[in-house]
Amino acid sequence: MSLPAIAITTGDPAGIGPEVSLRAIPEILAFCRPQLIGNRTVLQQVAAKIGVDLPEVPILDPAGDFSAVQPGQICAENGSASYQYVTTGIDLAIEGKVAGVVTGPIQKEAWHLAGIPFPGHTELLASRTHSSNVRMMLTAPQISCVLVTVHVGYAEVPRLLTTEGIFESIQMGHEVVSRIRQRKARVTVCGLNPHAGEHGLFGQQEEERIIQPAIDRAREAGMDVQGPLPPDTAFTAAKRLETDVYICMYHDQGLIPLKTLAFDDAVNVTLGLPIVRTSVDHGTAMDIAWQGIAGHSSMVQAIRLAVQLASPGQV
Q: Which residues contact 242 (CB under 8 A, 6 or more apart)?
A: 186, 188, 226
Distance CA 270, CA 312 (A): 18
Polymer length of the chain: 315
Flag whether pLDDT at 1 surpasses 90: no
Res 17: pLDDT: 97
Distance CA 181, CA 40 (A): 37
Q: Check if CATH label 3.40.718.10 holds for domain 133-272.
A: yes
- Sequence ranges of the chain with CATH classification 3.40.718.10: 1-131+275-315, 133-272
Peptide linkage before 228 cis (omega within 30 of 0):
yes
Res 315: pLDDT: 61
Query: 124-183: per-residue pLDDT in tens?
Result: 999 999 998 999 999 999 999 999 998 888 999 999 999 999 999 999 999 999 999 989
Query: 201-243: per-residue pLDDT in tens?
Result: 788 889 999 999 999 999 999 999 999 999 999 999 999 999 9
Beta strands in the chain (DSSP E): 5-9, 33-37, 59-60, 100-103, 135-139, 144-147, 186-190, 224-229, 245-248, 267-271, 277-280
Query: 171-208: per-residue pLDDT in tens?
Result: 999 999 999 998 999 999 999 998 886 777 788 889 99
Do residues 14 and 286 make contact, with C-beta atoms less than 8 angstroms apart?
A: yes
User: How much is the pTM?
Assistant: 0.89
Query: 287-308: per-residue pLDDT in tens?
Result: 999 999 999 999 999 999 999 9
Distance CA 257, CA 236 (A): 10
Q: Across all residues in the chain, what is the average pLDDT?
A: 93
Beta strands in 65-223 (DSSP E): 100-103, 135-139, 144-147, 186-190
CATH for the stretch 1-131+275-315: 3.40.718.10
Flag whether pLDDT at 313 surpasses 60: no
